[in-house]
Amino acid sequence: MKKRKYRLEIPTCREMTRLGPIVIPSSKVRKMYKTIHKIFFVDDEPMVRKAVDIILSREGYRVTTFSSPQNCINSLKSKKCHLLITDVNMPDMNGIDLLTQAKSIAPLLPVLVVTGYADIPLAVRAVKAGADNFIEKPLDKDTLLPLVYSLIKKYTSRYLKKRLTKMERTVLKLLLDGKGNRSIAIELQRSIRTIEDHRFNLMKKFGTDNVVDLVKKALNMDLSDLD
């Protein structure tokens, strides 16, 4: 008896059009930054969990799946997570309750809500409650992967901006404007050595060892509101 294959496919959600075009970097570019992003996926359907695990793992993400929202909440208290993806309609706890508790544990954590067509009003409630976006079932990797990438990039941007000091944000903005150490030092009325120290701290926080990679990585993130 042949095993039944589970296929993920989803029509593009109209809500995603507001995100604009999303470019997913090649696996070679992602490996440059040596960051393994961790995703928690919650759904009460075993075949959905397995299929999503396969799709995301092939892209280099470390995926942990949960059939129980409560188990996910328990893991969030002790384990690192860069993105939470949850079904909105589950028997033990709905996605909105999970979202609320997850945000209380990790306020910066982006949340993607998965919904069926009939659950659109519930998904809208989830977005109002703090979800970053929602996607309709059945899932399709060509729709899912760009959204996952954009939300993880959002998390990285939120996290980094929170860690940067006011002066580091100012120096980074000037670096992104193409200015060198001397020009930045003159504009900010600081010594070149002070600017070099700030640039070193920026490279350390961004996980790079040169200013070129620092600028590339910063440009790949949503850092438009550095002020």
Task: Provide the whole-model pTM.
Answer: 0.67
**Predicted pLDDT of residue 35:** 63
Instruction: Please give the DSSP secondary-structure letter assigned to residue 35.
Output: -
| Cα 23 to Cα 149: distance, rounded to the nearest angstrom | 9
Separation of alpha carbons 133 and 110, rounded Å: 9
From-to residues of CATH 3.40.50.2300 in the chain: 34-160
Query: 106-145, pLDDT tens digit by residue?
Result: 888 999 999 876 677 877 888 888 899 988 888 889 999 9
Q: Which CATH architecture has domain 34-160?
A: 3-Layer(aba) Sandwich (3.40)
CATH 1.10.10.10 segments of the chain: 164-219
Assigned CATH topology for domain 164-219: Arc Repressor Mutant, subunit A (1.10.10)
pLDDT at 223: 59
Task: Give the sign of the dihedral formed by CA 197, CA 203, CA 208, CA 211.
Answer: negative
- Give the integer Cα–Cα distance in Å for 46 and 54: 12
Both structure tokens of 190: 């600081």
Q: Has residue 22 got a pLDDT over 60?
A: no
Task: Summarize pLDDT for 160-203 with one digit per residue, the tens.
Answer: 777 888 899 899 989 988 899 999 999 999 999 999 999 998 88
- Can you tell me which residue has the tokens 């996605």? 95
- What's the pLDDT score for residue 104? 92
Q: Which residue bears the tokens 């470390």?
A: 62
Question: Using CA atoms, how far apart are residues 215 and 218, in angstroms rounded to an integer?
Answer: 5
